[in-house]
Amino acid sequence: MKRLFIAIKLNPDEKFLETYNLLKSSLKQDIINWVKPEIMHLTLKFMGPTPTEDIPKIKAILSYFCKQKTPIKFEFDKTGIFGSSYDPRVIWFGISKNDEIKAFGEDLLNLFHESGFKRDRQNFVPHLTIGRIKKIKNKKYFQSIIDKVKDRKIQLFNVNEIILYQSILKPDGPVYVELGKYELV
């Protein structure tokens, strides 16, 4: 069994890192596990623990899917939290309006479902987790920092490929191993 997911690799630019570092430095008094910029990705489908013998079928589905799709663009242009303002759990960058990336993600989920890979209960909601919150010391201050960047344009991404990754969980954070790269036509 291998823990797999399908994602778009993100290469943060200067503007992206400026917002990320502002949040990180402004919230340094809190206990937050920040996602390292070099491993950031937009998850399209989390496969979870997957039998090794299913990997060739997954690769074939991805190859077929990408031959049907052209490159797309999307922009992270908002910042928010999952959880409530009383109990925030995750800080994320999100996409306001982009039917193209939503349709792309939904099409991928539907194709995998039709191919025998169970679909999650939720619809595809494109977002990038940037921090997992363990403890907030001052929730009012925390919310004021989130509010400062909530509508900030963060980065425009041009997507030319998707990647099949294996996630290996380690005490100092996950390691992602690329199992396949699939170009959009």
Domain boundaries, the chain: 2-183
d(CA 5, CA 61): 13
Q: Check 12, 20, 41, 128 and give the catalytic one.
A: 41
**What letter does residue 150 receive in the DSSP assignment?**
T
What are 87-134's pLDDT values in tens digits?
999 999 999 888 899 999 999 999 999 999 988 767 788 899 999 999
- 1, exposed or middle or buried, with CB in 10 Å at 0-12, 13-18, 19+? exposed
Cβ neighbors of 24 (< 8 A, separation 6 or more) are 32, 34, 131
Instruction: Please give the backbone phi and psi of residue 69, each rounded to the nearest 5 degrees, phi first.
Output: -120, 145
What are 124-162's pLDDT values in tens digits?
888 999 999 999 999 999 999 999 999 999 999 999 999
Token duo for residue 33: 């596990």
174 or 89: which leads in pLDDT: 89
Strand partners, 7: 43, 163
Instruction: Specify the pTM.
Output: 0.91
Cβ neighbors of 169 (< 8 A, separation 6 or more) are 3
Pairing status of strand 41-50 against strand 31-34: unpaired
Instruction: Return the amino acid letter for 41.
Output: H
Contact between 176 and 36 (Cβ < 8 Å): no
Residue with tokens 């939290």: 81
- CATH 3.90.1140.10 holds for 2-183: yes
Q: Check 102, 127, 148, 150 and give the catalytic one.
A: 127
- Give catalytic status of residue 127 as yes or no: yes
**What letter does residue 74 receive in the DSSP assignment?**
E
What are 5-37's pLDDT values in tens digits?
999 999 999 999 999 999 999 999 999 999 999
- Give catalytic status of residue 113 as yes or no: no
d(CA 163, CA 165): 6
Pairing status of strand 127-135 against strand 155-159: unpaired
